[in-house]
Amino acid sequence: MAVTAGPSRRTVEFVFAAALIAVAGAVFVLSADYPAESAAFPRVLAVLLALCAVLVAARQLRHRDEAGAQPFFLHLPRFLITLVALVAYVVAIDVTGYLLPSFALAVALPFVLGYRRLALTVPLAVGTLVLIVLVFNVALERPMPPDVLMHLWESVR
């Protein structure tokens, strides 16, 4: 249980506030290279952001309440599976094009997360993709990420 629960809400609050402060710091440093009138606005914002983040963190230190001890994730393993699946999806689109990874995602993600009725997911995935191709590619002539399937289709034609 302790493994699946993941970090507490308070921990994430701290990490995120720290990240905001880091971003604010980076903005402040990077702005140094810009002419004064271009740097002024981002710098003011960076200070404001850092200030808020410090306040958020300080509040967490002061109020050690019940809510902060709750786990941040509803279900960490499922979150991680989804995250990995989505990142893999985008990388796969970059490599093989849109259609194949999309089909894989629409069928595999519910499957891994416990929904095993392929009789619903497979036709649904195919139907959705046909609809998308019809609207985006055929009707509106929007190009899709170049797909290996499209090359096959071209050569068949």
Partner 1 sequence: MKRIFRTGLMGMAAAIALSGSAFAADYPTKPIEMIVAFAPGGGTDVAARSIASFMEKHLGDGARIAVINKPGAGGEIGWTAVAQAKPDGYTIGFINVPAINALVVEGKAKFKMDDFQPIANLVYDPGVLVVGKNSPFKSVKDLVEAAKEKPGTIAVGTSGAVGSSEHITILNFERLAGIKLTHAPFGGTAPVRQAVLGGHIPAATMNLSEALQLAREGEIRVLGVMSEERSEYLKDAPTFREQGYDVVAGSSRGIAAPKGIPAEIVAKLEAAVDKALKDPEYLEAAKKAEIPLHYLASADYKAFLDKSTADLEATWKVSPWR
Partner 2 sequence: MIDAIIHALPHVFAPANLLAITIGSVAGLVVGALPGLTVTTGIAILIPLTFGLDPLFALGMMAGMYNAGSYGGAIPAILMRVPGTPASVATILDGYEMTKRGEAAYALQVAVVSGVIGSVLSAIALILFAPPLVKVSLLFGPAEYFWLAMLGLATISALLGDDLVKGIAASAIGLLIGTVGQDLTSGTERFTFGSLELMDGFSIVVLLTGLFALPPVFQMAEEAIKEGMSASLLRFKKQRSVMREWRYFLPVWLRSSAIGIFIGVMPGAAGSMSSFLAYNEAKRVAHSPETFGQGNPEGVAASEAGNGADNAAALIPALSLGIPGSGVAAVILGGLLVHGLRPGPQLFRDHPDIVYGFMLQMLLSAFLLFAVGGLAATRIFGQVLRLPRIVLAPLIVLFVAIGVYAVNNAMFDLYVLMGVGVVAYVLEKLDYPQAPVVLGLILGPMAESQLRLSLTISQGDPSALVASWVSIILALLTAIVLVTPLYRSWREKRQRKPAAA
Which residue ranges make up the site for partner 2 (CB under 8 A)? 9, 12-13, 16, 20, 23, 27, 30-31, 34-35, 37-38, 41-42, 45-46, 48-49, 52-53, 55-56, 59, 72-75, 78-79, 81-83, 86-87, 89-90, 93-94, 98, 102, 105-106, 109-110, 113-115, 120-121, 124-125, 128-129, 132, 135-136, 140-145
Q: In this chain, which of 33, 64, 141, 156 binds partner 1, going by CB under 8 A?
A: 141
Please report how close the Cβ of residue 3 comes to partner 2 at its closest, in angstroms. 16
d(CA 123, CA 10): 43
Residue 147, contacted partner among partner 1, partner 2, none, CB below 5-8 A by kind:
none
Please report how close the Cβ of residue 31 comes to partner 1 at its closest, in angstroms. 18
Question: Among 149, 142, 134, 132, which Cα is nearest to 92's?
Answer: 149
Residue 88, contacted partner among partner 2, partner 1, none, CB below 5-8 A by kind:
none
List residues near partner 1 by CB under 8 A. Answer: 141, 143, 154
